[in-house]
Structure 1
Amino acid sequence: MEYRTIAAPVSASFVEKKSEFIAQLFPVRTQEDAVEAIENVRKQHRRARHNVYAYLLREGNASRYSDDGEPQGTAGMPILDVLQKNGLTDICCVVTRYFGGVLLGANGLVRAYSHSTALAIENAQVKVMLPCYPVSIQTDYALYGKIAYHLPQEDILQLDTIFEDQVELKLLVRDTLWEPLKKELIDLTSGQVEIVSGGLQYADFSKAKK
């Protein structure tokens, strides 16, 4: 089951009727990671009227949000909604508001918090995380070209190729492709290949060749 998250923290800001909204996105794995990110933003923006947050985690399929003093339903939930509609998880968003003295009203607040979150997502590098296996393929030089040519461009990330007594290719292979590819390589080389795989993990395949 694939999931989408972000590669690194990003931020975006805009001003609405003299109030400044600063959205910060963080990749997180656990509730502790999310709480730490929220506390760091609170320390960074101690003078702000509001530090509203929402986060989504794969761990326990958890989601949390807080309006942090804004009218109920006008801040945290809109942020969470934008994250969900973008299909993101393992992510925390904190939107800081410096109040400018002009009331925005409930609808204005919903729009402002949603818009600031969307702006930050636009600035983020989204990673498509797919289940895969780390795979090591060792073979003679005579078969290396045939194997390299046979490897599909999609659903594989080539990590390294080591040229020593034999050639070793280190790959990440999509879980759905692994078993058929293993059989194909054994057939292709008449069994003259050593293939070792590790445990299932997730990796970013958004840059895999299409």
Structure 2
Amino acid sequence: MIEKYLSIAGPVEAEIEDRRSRFLAHLEPVSDEAAARAVIESVRKQHHTAGHHCSAFILGPDGAVERSSDDGEPAGTAGAPMLEVLRGRELRDVVAVVTRWFGGTLLGAGGLVRAYSDAVAAASDAAELVRYRLADMLELEVDYAIAGRVEASLRDRGVQVADVRHGAQATLVLAVPPAERAAVTSAIAELTGGRGRPVGAGTRWLA
């Protein structure tokens, strides 16, 4: 099971030039294929004078969805190399669009592969990376008399308290790596004299 993955914090661009052809790379985090295609179309409209808008995206923590497009460039010279850079950087939930303005000199297949790859690599280098981890969400109800002490003790032990809800009792919402769930449950039992029993509340990807 995938428990961690890497993405980018926000949109980023980088430009390179090869024999007067300009290659502008745009990277952006996306959550699904519709969002990725919307970014591609947005870039296409923004730079409508350019000859090509090649693209690649990888979706899902496990990279289950991969798509690429050469957008009129010779087959295999743009989209696939761009996709390979994203794979090599282990980026997920990200779309890359490289817009090319032709400079008058043919670059050849090898030159195109290098240029599209280098443009995506340059944008990746400029991006702020975000590491996401899968967490089991646990809800723990405790009396107000001990809630503060239990919360502080859990935080001291490195447990992430994602939220505190107030009702008849205090409910601590904990984000726990799956591998640490048993240890956290044991710590809760120790802190509450065996009275605290966390209840599972699904899983969530957290930065």
Alpha-carbon offset, residue 40 of structure 1: 1.0
User: How far has the Cα of 1:16 moved from its partner?
Assistant: 2.0
Aligned to 2:83: 80
1:51 corresponds in structure 2 to 53
Q: Kindly report which structure 2 residues correspond to 1:59-78, keeping only aligned pairs within 5 A, or say none.
A: 61-78=64-81
Contact 1:144 1:167 (C-alpha < 8 Å) held by counterparts = no
Cα deviation for residue 85 of structure 1 reads 0.6
Q: Deviations over 1:65-93 (max 9, x none)?
A: 11111122111111000000111122111
2:116 equivalent among 109, 113, 116: 113
- Are the aligned partners of 1:143 and 1:189 in contact in 2 as well (CA < 8 Å)? no
2-structure distance, mates of 1:191, 1:181: 13
Please, what is the CA RMSD of the aligned residues? Answer: 2.4
Aligned partner letter, 1:149: S
Which of residues 41, 50, 75 is equivalent to 1:39?
A: 41
Q: Aligned AA for 2:9?
A: A
1:174 maps to 2:180 = no
- Return the alpha-carbon distance in structure 1 between the equivalents of residues 11 and 105 of structure 2: 30
> Which sections of structure 2, spanning at least 5 residues, go unmatched?
none
Aligned-residue offset at 1:110: 1.2
Match of 1:145 in 2: 149
Conserved? CA contact 1:137–1:169, under 8 Å = yes
- 2:186 maps to what in 1? 183
Are positions 1:95 and 2:98 aligned together?
yes
1:201 Cα deviation after fit: 1.8
Q: Distance in 2 between matches of 1:192 and 1:5?
A: 40
Contact 1:147/1:185 (8 A) holds in 2: no
The residue type equivalent to 2:22 in the other structure is E
1:12 alignment counterpart: 14
Question: Shift of residue 128 of structure 1?
Answer: 1.8
Letter in 2 for 1:113: Y
- TM-score (normalised: structure 2): 0.84
Distance 1:125 1:135, change over 3 A: farther
Question: Would the aligned equivalents of 2:137 and 2:174 in 1 still touch at CA under 8 Å?
Answer: yes
Report the identity percentage.
37
What secondary structure does 2:124 align onto? helix
What is the aligned residue count?
Answer: 202
Could you tell me how far 1:149 is from its partner in structure 2? 3.2
Deviation of residue 161 (structure 1)? Answer: 5.1
Deviation at 1:184, TM superposition (A): 1.9
Find the aligned partners of 1:53 and 1:81 in 2 and give their Cα distance.
Answer: 12
Q: Is the alpha carbon distance of 1:46 and 1:55 closer, same or farther for their aligned partners in structure 2, counting shifts above 3 Å?
A: same
Residues 73 and 135 of structure 1: is their aligned pair in 2 closer, same or farther, counting only changes over 3 Å?
same
